[in-house]
Chains A and B, each alone.
Chain A
Amino acid sequence: MPSARPLSRPRHRARRRERASALLTAARTPRGAIGLTMAAVVVLAAVIGPLVAPQPATALVTLAFGKPSGQFWLGGDYLGRDVLSRVLDGGWVLLVMAVCATAIGIAGGALAGVSAAYLRGVSDGIIMRSADVILSFPQVVFALLLLSLLGPKLWLITLTVGVSHAPQVARVLRAATLDVSERDFVRAAELQGMRPGKVMVKEILPNLVSPLMVETGLRLTYSITIFAGLAFLGFGQAPPAATWGTMIYENRIGLSQNPWAVIVPAALIALLTIGINTYTDAFARVAIGADRRPEEAALIGNLGQELGG
Chain B
Amino acid sequence: MLTLFLVSVVVFVATEVLPGNAAFAILGRNASPVRVRALENQLHLNRGLFDQYWTWISGLFEGRLGNSLVNSQSVWSLVEPRLVNSAILVLVTGVIGSFLGVALGAFAALRKDGWFDRISSVVLLAATSLPEFVVAIGLIILLATVVFHVLPGVSLLAPGTYAWSEPQLLILPVATLVIVIVPYTMRMMRAAMIEALESDYVEMAQLKGVPEWRIVLVHALPNAIAPTIQVIGLGFLYLAGGIVIVENVFNFPGIGQGLVEAVNGRDIPTIQFIVVVLAAFYVVMNILTDVIALLATPRRRIAR
Residues of A within 8 A of B (CB): 129, 132-133, 135-141, 144-150, 221, 224-225, 228-229, 232-235, 245, 248, 252, 255-256, 259, 262-263, 266, 269-270, 273-274, 276-278, 281, 291-293, 296-297, 299-300, 302
> Please, could you name 18 A-B residue pairs with CB atoms under 8 Å apart, sorted by A?
A137-B7, A146-B14, A148-B266, A148-B271, A149-B14, A149-B15, A232-B245, A233-B244, A233-B248, A248-B133, A256-B146, A263-B141, A266-B134, A274-B130, A276-B129, A296-B188, A300-B195, A300-B227
User: What's the nearest-Cβ distance from chain A to residue B218, in Å?
Assistant: 20
Q: Does B222 contact A (CB under 8 A)?
A: no
Q: Does B114 contact A (CB under 8 A)?
A: no
Name which of B65-73, B166-174, B274-282 contacts chain A.
B274-282
Q: Are A292 and B241 in contact (CB under 8 A)?
A: no
Q: Are A273 and B129 in contact (CB under 8 A)?
A: yes
Q: Determine the chain A residues whose CB is within 8 A of the CB of B128 once the complex forms.
A: 277
A291 to B249, CA, bound (A): 33
The 10 closest A-B pairs by CB, nearest first: A138-B241, A277-B129, A148-B263, A225-B131, A273-B129, A136-B279, A255-B145, A274-B129, A133-B6, A296-B191
Known: A138-B240, A234-B264. A149 touches B131 (CB 8 A): no
User: What's the nearest-Cβ distance from chain B to residue A280, in Å?
Assistant: 9
Interface centre among B138, B231, B241, B283 (most CB of A within 10 A): B241
Interface residues of B in 192-215 (CB under 8 A from A): 192, 195
Interface residues of B in 89-137 (CB under 8 A from A): 121, 125-126, 128-134, 137
Describe B's contact surface by its main secondary structure.
helix
Q: Determine the chain B residues whose CB is within 8 A of the CB of A259 once the complex forms.
A: 141, 145-146
Known: A146-B14, A259-B141, A299-B191. A136 touches B126 (CB 8 A): no
A94 to B125, CA, bound (A): 22
Q: Are A145 and B129 in contact (CB under 8 A)?
A: no
Q: Are B132 and A137 in contact (CB under 8 A)?
A: no
Q: Are A266 and B138 in contact (CB under 8 A)?
A: yes
Q: Does B83 contact A (CB under 8 A)?
A: no
Q: Are B133 and A228 in contact (CB under 8 A)?
A: yes
User: What's the nearest-Cβ distance from chain A to residue B97, in Å?
Assistant: 16
Q: Which of A149, A270, A292 contacts B130 (CB 8 A)?
A: A270
Mark each residue of chain B from 60 to 79: 1 if its CB lies under 8 Å from any CB of chain A, else 0. Answer: 00000000000000000000
Q: Are B283 and A136 in contact (CB under 8 A)?
A: yes
Q: Are A145 and B275 in contact (CB under 8 A)?
A: yes
Describe A's contact surface by its main secondary structure.
helix
Q: Are B278 and A229 in contact (CB under 8 A)?
A: no
Known: A133-B10, A266-B138. A140 touches B245 (CB 8 A): yes
Identity of the chain A residue whose Cβ is nearest the Cβ of B146 in the assembled complex: A259
A291 to B120, CA, bound (A): 13
Interface centre among B18, B244, B271 (most CB of A within 10 A): B244
Q: Are B7 and A133 in contact (CB under 8 A)?
A: yes
Known: A225-B131, A299-B227, A299-B230. A266 touches B137 (CB 8 A): yes
Q: Are A262 and B137 in contact (CB under 8 A)?
A: yes
Residues of B within 8 A of A (CB): 2-4, 6-7, 10-11, 14-15, 18-19, 22, 25, 121, 125-126, 128-134, 137-138, 140-141, 145-146, 153, 187-188, 191-192, 195, 227, 230-231, 234, 237, 240-242, 244-245, 248-249, 259-260, 262-264, 266, 271, 275, 278-279, 282-283
Q: Are B245 and A277 in contact (CB under 8 A)?
A: no
Q: Determine the chain A residues whose CB is within 8 A of the CB of B141 once the complex forms.
A: 255, 259, 262-263
User: What's the nearest-Cβ distance from chain A to residue B49, in Å?
Assistant: 16
Known: A141-B244, A296-B187, A300-B192. A255 touches B146 (CB 8 A): yes
Q: Are A150 and B19 in contact (CB under 8 A)?
A: yes
Q: Determine the chain B residues whose CB is within 8 A of the CB of A296 once the complex forms.
A: 187-188, 191
Q: Determine the chain A residues whose CB is within 8 A of the CB of B146 once the complex forms.
A: 255-256, 259
Q: Are B125 and A277 in contact (CB under 8 A)?
A: yes
A235 to B264, CA, bound (A): 10
Q: Which of B3, B227, B237 contacts A129 (CB 8 A)?
A: B3
16 extra interface residue pairs, beta carbon distance < 8 Å, beyond A132-B3, A138-B237, A141-B278:
A129-B3, A129-B6, A140-B244, A141-B275, A144-B244, A144-B259, A149-B22, A224-B131, A228-B133, A248-B133, A263-B141, A270-B134, A273-B131, A278-B126, A296-B188, A300-B227
Q: Determine the chain A residues whose CB is within 8 A of the CB of B126 once the complex forms.
A: 274, 277-278
Q: Are A136 and B260 in contact (CB under 8 A)?
A: no
User: What's the nearest-Cβ distance from chain A to residue B95, in Å?
Assistant: 20
A296 to B125, CA, bound (A): 14
A227 to B288, CA, bound (A): 31
A145 to B187, CA, bound (A): 31
User: What's the nearest-Cβ distance from chain A to residue B117, in Å?
Assistant: 10
Interface centre among B129, B130, B240, B245 (most CB of A within 10 A): B129
Identity of the chain B residue whose Cβ is nearest the Cβ of A135 in the assembled complex: B282
Q: Determine the chain A residues whose CB is within 8 A of the CB of B153 once the complex forms.
A: 255
Q: Determine the chain A residues whose CB is within 8 A of the CB of B6 once the complex forms.
A: 129, 132-133
Identity of the chain B residue whose Cβ is nearest the Cβ of A225 in the assembled complex: B131
Q: Are A291 and B195 in contact (CB under 8 A)?
A: no
Q: Which of A149, A274, A276, A297 contacts B25 (CB 8 A)?
A: A149
Interface centre among A136, A233, A266, A293 (most CB of B within 10 A): A136
Q: Determine the chain B residues whose CB is within 8 A of the CB of A144 once the complex forms.
A: 244, 259-260, 263
Q: Determine the chain B residues whose CB is within 8 A of the CB of A263 once the complex forms.
A: 141
